Amino acid sequence: MEYLTLKNSDLKVSRMCMGGCPMGGYGWGSNVLESELIDAVHCALDNGINFFDTADTYGLGQSEKILGKALKGRRDKAVIASKFGVHAKNGMPTFYDNSPEWIKSSIKGTLKRLDTDYLDLYQIHYRDEKTPLSEVVDTLEELKKAGYIRYYGLSNIHKSDIPELKEYKGRFVSFQDEYSLACRKNEDDFLNLSKNLCLTPLTWGSLGQGILTGKYDRNTVFADDDRRSRDIYVNFHGEKLEKNLEIVEVLKNISNDTGKSIPAIAIRFILDFLTDSVVLVGIKRPSQLKANIEAFGWKLDDEQIKILDEISKN
């Protein structure tokens, strides 16, 4: 495993982070089993992965509960990140809320579900566009001084946010957004935010919701309870699907040359292309994890990076 220290912190984390969205269950099909999720967390720890990312909105708290159960007795081996800012209830419209009251309420619920006294990293899931950033930062500093959180970070921000965020350079330690060979639209944001705000980039959707694993093709049909059946998940539909399948063919060729799994090649591209990044990967079972960790302990050569760069440019 490879490690780095999140900027502006003393958090030494694995460069692969186990993403907790599938752990929430909602929208990932009926084959997401709690027992396999817990086994996957244990497998991650046993293979040197110490970084776990979740959110209070994933499965309306279910993800945090399962992660807390899986880390029982091994909390000291894990760096846990969660997110706040999304009001979500069954049957109610979802909206964003960064108010101090909601942050303080959210952290209490998160800590209870995770069965822990503190959170290593607390992230703004989405800005609500109304609460002043100064109030958000003051509240997070209050939680930090109280010992509820160690550090805080950002999610779903862009280079256009840099002027507002510059005042707080050195306070936030990380930011995350979507990035993969199937989605490079945020690449300029990643490079600018990392450089100008001294933040460690975390990439979610690193395997394009699974299209970059090589398991799916144009004949794949997802069940209605799998979010990827919806057109909004563009990686599996229309022209975008055809483009992604071209990328997968290149991944297969490099896989044959290197002896590494197809998802490992896709992950390795991010690790080599964004050299100070952490790759978030949603894991549902240990077998997926084992294929993904083949990404570590080697590097793509310049020609392989060039080929993947050219085939995947937006």
Q: How many other β-carbons are positioned within 10 Å of the β-carbon of residue 137?
A: 17
Q: How far apart are CA 190 and CA 149, in angstroms?
A: 25
Q: How many other β-carbons are positioned within 10 Å of the β-carbon of residue 252?
A: 13
**Active-site entry in 3, 26, 58, 216:** 58
DSSP-H helix ranges across 115-201: 133-145, 162-165, 187-197
Q: How far apart are CA 249 and CA 234, in angstroms?
A: 19
DSSP-based three-state secondary structure for 238: helix
Burial class (CB in 10 A: 0-12, 13-18, 19+), 306: exposed
Please list, in sequence order, all residues whose beta carbon lies within 8 angstroms of the beta carbon of residue 199, skipping any fewer than 6 positions away.
7, 8, 153, 154, 172, 173, 174, 175, 193
Q: Is 58 noted as a catalytic residue in this protein?
A: yes
* Dihedral pair phi/psi, residue 43, rounded to 5°: -65, -40
Q: How big is the CA angle at 179 (ends 199 and 78), to the nearest 5 degrees?
A: 60
Which helix (H) or strand (E) is 86 found in, with range? strand 86-87
Q: Give residue 114's region: left, alpha or beta (phi > 0; psi -120 to 50).
A: alpha
DSSP-H helix ranges across 51-199: 62-70, 100-114, 133-145, 162-165, 187-197
CA dihedral 260, 264, 269, 274 (to 10 degrees): -130
- List residues with catalytic annotation: 58
